[in-house]
Structure 1
Amino acid sequence: MNIESIDLNLLVAFDAMMQERNVTRAGQRVGLSQPSMSHALTRLRAVCGDPLFVRVKTGMEPTPFALRIAPSVRAGLSLMRVGLESAVAFDPARSERIFQILLSDLGEVVYLPRLMQHLKDVAPGIGLRVLQLPRENYREALESGDADLAIGFLPGLTTGFYQQRLFSDHHVCMVRADHPRIGWTLNLQQFSEESHIMIEPAGSRYSRVSLHSSTTTLIEQYLEKKGLHRHIALRVPHFTVVPDILQTTDLLVVIPTTVARLMMPRRHIKMLPLPFEVPQFEVKQFWHERSHLDGGTRWLRGVMAELFMERRPACGVPALAAGDQA
């Protein structure tokens, strides 16, 4: 294959197809109509001497050749994109860039209202795309450039990433305000005897050894270590349904304080201290070293620090080993 004969736009189209596995959606991703996208794939097939994508029942699947070249194409496009972006000073007031952020649904509740109001005031052309992926996929998404930033309690992101602490948080228990057995205090016996809701984010099902743990995993590990047990009546992947369930049942939920405080207004629920001490956890923002000097992501990280950091360090530092702090 003669690299000089390849139009770089064809590689952009190829990368979009690898992500979408659908001609129409891939075209929308890169601003091409369906006929134009099909034409670009026809040209690239001719250059490569391979079908690249074949139609199956579920859509378009890549050939073995396409799977082999996809990582190199993605890395090359990412490198060019970062180089071009860094060559021009980033102006948030005029930019129309779309940033992609990895957040849980808890994170959406905590960060997005305040963040979107800030963007409206200082960067009205900028857009956000929130991604919810299994946590074991966070590394790949940041490395490939599919995500610019990840925010949360993410102990699985260590070597190869920068991290910056935003704030510390701890857990509390929430129940409906008129719970028949629980008043304004909660003892260990009540905690053990009542039934609970557990929030299990996608890809972070409780595991004793998982690095890709959530705050749910942190609680379960602590209870197990102390020989404490609770009955889980309901497991849900998202937080958003929990307030309504609490108001209409006798179930308990253990949840970070930051989120609990947002649930309180206009809700018939109450927040209670846990009857045992659980270590605090740190919420941080993470980014890959490849985007560390990119003007746009530097600006976005600064916005997050300005809006949500308790005490702002000078800058993020590389995470060289598990447990390093920003």
Structure 2
Amino acid sequence: MSHAANALAMTQPAVSIGLRRLREHYNNPLFTRVGYEMQGTELADELYPKFLAAITSLEAVYSFTDDFEPSTAKNMFSLMVSDIGDMILLPKLLNLSQQEAPFIAYNMSISQKNLKERMQQGEVDLAVGFVPELEAGFYHKRLISQYNVGLVRAGHPRLNSMKSDSMAYFGERHIDVSNNEGEDSLVERELKSLSQKRHITVRLSNYLGLSRLLLSSDLVATVPKILAVQLCEDHDLQLFPLPFDFYNYPIFAYWHEKRHKDADHIWLRQQIFKAATLVQKEIT
């Protein structure tokens, strides 16, 4: 009892009174004397982890501060980034972050499944892409303006025809890329709205295998220019302007309103915005 009183910065009578109240509440002695020691009863042993969890939660609330110091922070930010953003934006984001916050880490995902609920519950801090369903309760900011182009292997036999003739473009076999399993890609949705239809030979869930398929065939891909430029630099591919008017989807950053004023999230958004500015300069 004396040791407990010292640890709690209380008098021994005060601890005795508190213990008596607990015994009365649970109708259990809680402690019994064994030799020269007091040992917990079975109920006390069962209650202990529950009390410990409650105390830990209270201490976390008491010690909480909204201060954020990037140089020492060890946050793990969870991001949903489209694979285009993953390939183009992420390298610059990591480079910027390492300069200011060497201990910051990122958990990346490209899945948009239940994204709204995951962001509302705090499982995802920020989303990057084109997700128009994130409206009420969400903030968003345009990051990168982009437009779609055609992409084929260098030396494609009908490249010149596809540049100027939409019939030639639609007469080819195509690769479609959709991040949302079982759903049409944004390109397919837009073409359907224009009453146009491509012959899809291969449908991919991401852009990672796209270059290999293009290099080994005469297939055609329709991708954002921001990605096409990068792929052409890395592989023997060639981009071309689409021979018809096509709606272009920009890339946005989205975040839930409950994270809007958090110091660490403000810092995260600033890094995303800076990275996007660097990317935009490279493609204009």
TM-score normalised by the chain length of structure 1: 0.64
Q: Which of the residues 256, 268, 289 maps onto 2:224?
A: 256
CA distance in 1, matches of 2:252, 2:60: 26
Deviation at 1:221, TM superposition (A): 2.7
**Any conservation in 2 of the 1:82–1:291 contact (CA below 8 Å)?**
no
User: 1:60-75 to 2 correspondence within 5 Å?
Assistant: none
CA distance in 1, matches of 2:132, 2:212: 30
Deviation at 1:104, TM superposition (A): 2.0
Structure of larger gyration radius: 2
Q: 1:272 to 1:180 in 2, by over 3 A?
A: same
The letter of the residue matching 2:176 is: M
User: Does residue 137 of structure 2 align to residue 137 of structure 1?
Assistant: no
Map of 1:35 onto structure 2:
none
User: 1:1-326 to 2 correspondence within 5 Å?
Assistant: 87-133=65-111, 135-183=112-160, 185-203=163-181, 205-206=183-184, 216-217=185-186, 219-309=187-277
Q: Which runs of 5+ in 2 are unaligned?
A: 1-21, 23-44, 51-56, 279-284
Map of 1:8 onto structure 2:
none
CA distance in 1, matches of 2:46, 2:125: 31
Deviation at 1:98, TM superposition (A): 0.8
CA distance in 1, matches of 2:143, 2:74: 26
Q: Which runs of 5+ in 1 are unaligned?
A: 6-41, 48-76, 207-215, 311-326
Deviation at 1:126, TM superposition (A): 0.6
Deviation at 1:167, TM superposition (A): 2.1
Map of 2:41 onto structure 1:
none
SS in 2 for 1:239: coil
Map of 2:11 onto structure 1:
none
Q: 1:147 to 1:275 in 2, by over 3 A?
A: same
CA distance in 2, matches of 1:97, 1:170: 34
TM-score normalised by the chain length of structure 2: 0.73
CA distance in 1, matches of 2:61, 2:206: 34
Q: 1:268 to 1:280 in 2, by over 3 A?
A: same
Deviation at 1:82, TM superposition (A): 9.5
Q: For each residue in 1:55-97, what CA deviation from the matched residue of structure 2 results, as whole angstroms up to 9, or x when unmatched? A: xxxxxxxxxxxxxxxxxxxxxx8xx989966x24101111111
Deviation at 1:232, TM superposition (A): 0.1
SS in 1 for 2:191: helix
> What percent of counterpart residues are identical?
28
The letter of the residue matching 2:272 is: M
**Any conservation in 1 of the 2:113–2:180 contact (CA below 8 Å)?**
no
CA distance in 1, matches of 2:272, 2:206: 23
CA distance in 2, matches of 1:100, 1:127: 9
**Any conservation in 2 of the 1:196–1:232 contact (CA below 8 Å)?**
yes
CA distance in 1, matches of 2:61, 2:127: 18
Q: 1:165 to 1:205 in 2, by over 3 A?
A: same
**Any conservation in 2 of the 1:176–1:269 contact (CA below 8 Å)?**
yes
SS in 2 for 1:303: helix
**Any conservation in 1 of the 2:80–2:109 contact (CA below 8 Å)?**
yes
SS in 1 for 2:247: coil
Deviation at 1:127, TM superposition (A): 0.6
Moved over 4 A (4+): 80-85
**Any conservation in 2 of the 1:102–1:131 contact (CA below 8 Å)?**
yes
Q: 1:158 to 1:83 in 2, by over 3 A?
A: farther
CA distance in 2, matches of 1:132, 1:97: 20
Q: What is the number of equivalent residue pairs in this alignment?
A: 226
Instruction: Tell me how large the CA RMSD over aligned residues is.
Output: 2.6
Q: For each residue in 1:16-67, what CA deviation from the matched residue of structure 2 results, as whole angstroms up to 9, or x when unmatched? A: xxxxxxxxxxxxxxxxxxxxxxxxxx969x96xxxxxxxxxxxxxxxxxxxx
The letter of the residue matching 2:115 is: Y
